[in-house]
Amino acid sequence: MSVTIADITFDRVEYDAGADVLYLHVGDPSTAVDFDETPEGHALRFDAEGRLVGITLVRPKHLLEEGGGLHITLPVASEVSARELTPALSA
């Protein structure tokens, strides 16, 4: 399974249903060397070249149920629809 956000396809997708946290990463998670947080409280991970390689979405299921999508401020703001995330949250 993969999830695409802002033209980045995250091929490592893990959902912790108990904590309602979705972990998305491009390739090996150990490539992340820099970290930041979005204004919405999600964690961003970047590789040594500054490319976004990981996102940790906090309470995505709750946010989708509440509003039908969620907003993530990346280097470019992105909207994520329920259609895009629901399969990952159901896995």
- Statement: residue 17 has pLDDT above 90: yes
Alpha carbons within 13 A on the beta-carbon side of 8: 23
Give the predicted TM-score (pTM) of the model: 0.79
- Least confidently predicted of 18-22, 42-46, 49-53, 82-86: 82-86
- Statement: residue 6 has pLDDT above 60: yes
- Domain ranges within the chain, ordered by starting residue: 3-84
CB 60 within 8 A of CB 91: no
- Report the SS3 class of residue 88: helix
pLDDT score for 11? 94
The two structure tokens encoding residue 67? 């509003």
